């Protein structure tokens, strides 16, 4: 399998797992469940679950034990998107070319669907912990759970800083802090959780954390570039909004050319971090390039 | 100690525990932390943590191991209040006589503070699981964690049904479903988590679940009565709003006198459920009466 085939294989696997957690029975909260499904079951990239799986696969072959954590991560990612898009926060009407959750349903439903996705992520994890009888594996899984709570905590902090400073001058230090947390935290947590579940040692965990931080930054820079010069049809949302809203992004702060140069540099740094894994690290290398070259 | 003294002793203990989790260091998200603290550190009743502690104490004396779960429960209760009060949901300006979170701060901050409190609850639990070395106790704690995720799931579903059917005719069946979940779920989870952590058996757990369901219902009926004829000064919020908003409550649906009779009946049923515990159940009995007789 080449990279693209392997990637789309993983996307299928993740989508298949997510399907298992969708509740479709008739009940008084059917519309709430539909609203959660609407955001969760989409043509998304599934980048975070795939990072988790491929980081795990550096150390072990069978990756089924990662699934509940991959599902939880994607639920949390979607919770964050739904709340991000709310009128009180980013007030976005479109996401992946479709109406945002509160546009498709309504605001109270979107707020509660986000809440429920966040909680459901932990529900999935608690079910997995209950079933684990091996004390060693249980320990690893509890560490993964802890890593996830920490990542979400940082992600919300980053989102808050983004909201708080919208339309204001912001120091380089704060911009970095915001991105490290808002986009970086879940990407870092994904890579780390994969490695933790596989029982990776301290040195490997450090190396992979460094890699994750670089691709997290690359992801954000690329997002900012696409938001400025992307193709609206491919992107599924209007271009140029960041500038109009007075958002501080890598492009509005450093200019387009400098942002592109930064993207090249951090991607190369990411690749350097995992050079030692040779062929085993091939997929993670390709993922870094994919983040840099993506058009949506 | 009489009931009131014991109650206020527990309130002090819970408040003291909550204080430990407040983050006051200077950082870019300082205002988000203040917003979480604003809701969490208040003159609240701490009913859910106290139910958890007293249910645990039916079986065991030392109750320190309950603390992280009691703290998590109170964080989650406050997350639900903050999101409940939002303009898109109940649009309330006052809570416990003080401006609601989004009035004191702003809407994006309140949304994110609610999110962060929900996540922090699980962060606290994951830290506790990491520290637990005894396999038997770890198993109980994981069950407690699972019970909590389930309770929150039901609470959000109940809140959704409340939102969805506001101002509409609603069947008795749906009204019961809504209350069982919205108010009942966290009360039931609190009582059950206390018993689970103490290693209670199936029979005890069933008895206490029945008790919890009755006091949960009593709590909601009393809430509806206070919302109709309570003292605004003691209550800290305006009276009569449910009727104005077209909310379906036990009072608007059955009338004040019938609601009072229902409150008496379910309180007596709650007392019956725990008769078997004799003196050990005294505090839980007093708590049921306290829920019935409270003025706020």
Query: Is the pLDDT confidence value at B149 over 90?
Result: yes
Inter-chain touch A163–B112, beta carbons under 8 Å: yes
Collapse the DSSP code of B95 into the 3-class scheme (helix H, G, I; strand E, B; otherwise coil) and give the result. strand
Nearest-Cα residue of chain B relative to residue A87? B108
The SS3 call for residue B276 is helix
Q: How far is B129 from chain A (nearest CA, A)?
A: 7
For residue A36, give the chain B residue with the closest CA: B157
Q: What is the mean pLDDT of residues B229-245?
A: 80
CB < 8 Å from B in window 75-94 of A: 79, 83, 86-89
Q: Is residue B176 less than 8 Å (CB to CB) from chain A?
A: no
Query: What pLDDT is recorded for position A97?
Result: 85
What's the pLDDT tens digit per position in B201-218? 999 999 999 999 999 999
CB neighbours of residue A220 within 10 Å: 23
pLDDT of residue A249: 85
A window 250-269, beta carbon within 8 A of B: none
Provide the mean pLDDT of chain B.
94
Other C-beta atoms within 10 Å of A254: how many?
A: 17
Residue B242: the pLDDT is 76
CB-based contact (8 Å) between B130 and chain A? Answer: yes
Query: Between chains, do A146 and B163 touch, taking CB under 8 Å as contact?
Result: no
Contact state of A156 with B116 under an 8 Å Cβ cutoff: yes
In sequence order, the 6+-apart residues with CB closer than 8 A to the CB of A50 are: A7, A10, A11, A14, A287
Segment B2-12, tens digit of pLDDT: 999 999 999 99
Q: Which of B111, B143, B177 lies at the smallest CB-CB distance from A86?
A: B111
**Among residues B175, B255, B189, B257, which one has the least CA distance to residue B220?**
B175
Q: Where are the beta strands (DSSP E) in chain B?
A: 94-95, 98-99
pLDDT reading at B47 higher than 90: yes
DSSP secondary-structure letter at A132?
Answer: -
User: Vertex A144, ends A140 and A145: CA angle to 5°?
Assistant: 120
- Best of A30, A100, A164 to substitute, by most chain B Cβ atoms within 10 angstroms, is A164
Q: Give start and end residues of each alpha helix (H) in A86-201.
A: 101-104, 107-131, 135-164, 172-182, 184-197
- Residue contact A130–B107, C-beta within 8 A: no
Helix axes B184-197, B67-85, angle to 10 degrees: 170
Q: How far apart are CA A87 and CA A80, in angstroms?
A: 14
How far is Cα A4 from Cα A13, in angstroms, rounded to an integer?
A: 14
Q: Would you place residue B172 in the very low, low, confident or very high pLDDT band (cuts 50, 70, 90)?
A: confident
Q: Report residues of chain A scoring pLDDT below 50.
A: none
B160 contacts A29? CB cut-off 8 A: yes
> Which of A26-30, A163-167, B134-138, B194-198 has the least mean pLDDT?
A163-167
Q: Does B115 touch chain A (CB under 8 A)?
A: yes
State residue A244 phi and psi, 5-degree precision.
-60, -40
> How many secondary structure helices (H) and strands (E) does chain B include?
15, 2
Task: Give yes or no for A120 touching B (CB within 8 A).
Answer: yes
Using alpha carbons only, what angle is made at residue A196 by residues A191 and A200, rounded to the nearest 5 degrees?
A: 100
Of B29, B126, B150, the CB nearest to A161: B29
- Residue B96: pLDDT band (50, 70, 90) is confident
- Any CB–CB contact under 8 A between A103 and chain B? no
Q: Which domains does chain A have, with CATH numbers?
A: 3-212 (1.10.600.10)
Q: State the nearest Cα–Cα gap between A119 and chain B, in angstroms.
A: 6
Confidence (pTM): 0.96
Residues in chain B closer than 8 A to A79 (CB atoms)? 115
Kindly tell me if the per-residue pLDDT of B167 is higher than 80.
no
The tens digit of pLDDT for each residue in B107-127 reads: 999 999 999 999 999 999 999
B103 touching A (Cβ < 8 Å): no
How far B169 CA lies from chain A's nearest CA (Å)? 14
Question: Which residues from A are below 8 Å from B108, CB to CB?
Answer: 88-89, 160, 163
A143 touches chain B (CB under 8 A): yes
**Chain A residues lying within 8 Å of B137, measured CB to CB:** none
pLDDT in tens, B239-256: 887 777 777 788 988 999
Report the alpha-carbon distance of residue A163 to residue A183 in Å, rounded. Answer: 14
Mean pLDDT of B224-228: 92
ipTM of the complex: 0.96
């Amino acid at each position: 399998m080449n990279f693209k085939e392997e990637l789309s294989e993983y996307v299928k696997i993740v989508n298949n797992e997510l399907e298992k957690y969708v509740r479709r029975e008739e009940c008084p909260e059917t519309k709430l469940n539909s609203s959660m499904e609407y955001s969760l079951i989409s043509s998304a990239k599934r980048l975070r679950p795939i990072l988790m799986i491929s980081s795990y696969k550096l150390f072990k072959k069978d990756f089924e034990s990662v699934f509940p954590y991959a599902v939880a991560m994607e639920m949390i990612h979607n919770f964050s998107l739904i709340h991000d898009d709310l009128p009180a926060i980013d007030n976005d009407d479109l996401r992946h070319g479709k109406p945002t959750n509160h546009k498709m349903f309504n605001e109270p439903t979107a707020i509660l669907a986000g809440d429920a996705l966040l909680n459901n992520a932990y529900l999935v994890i608690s079910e997995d912990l209950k079933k684990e009888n091996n004390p060693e594996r249980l320990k690893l899984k509890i560490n993964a759970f802890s890593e996830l709570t920490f990542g979400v905590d940082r992600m919300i902090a980053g989102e808050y800083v983004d909201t708080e400073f919208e339309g204001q001058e912001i120091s380089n230090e704060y911009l970095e802090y915001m991105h490290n947390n808002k986009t970086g935290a879940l990407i870092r947590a994904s890579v780390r959780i994969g490695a933790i579940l596989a029982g990776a040692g301290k040195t490997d965990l450090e190396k992979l954390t460094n890699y994750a931080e670089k691709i997290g930054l690359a992801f954000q820079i690329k997002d900012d570039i696409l938001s400025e010069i992307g193709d609206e049809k491919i992107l599924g949302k209007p271009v140029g909004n960041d500038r109009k809203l007075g958002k501080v992004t890598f492009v509005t702060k450093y200019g387009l050319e400098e942002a592109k140069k930064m993207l090249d540099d951090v991607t190369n740094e990411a690749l350097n971090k995992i050079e030692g894994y040779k062929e085993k690290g091939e997929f993670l290398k390709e993922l870094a390039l994919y983040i840099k070259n993506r058009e949506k």
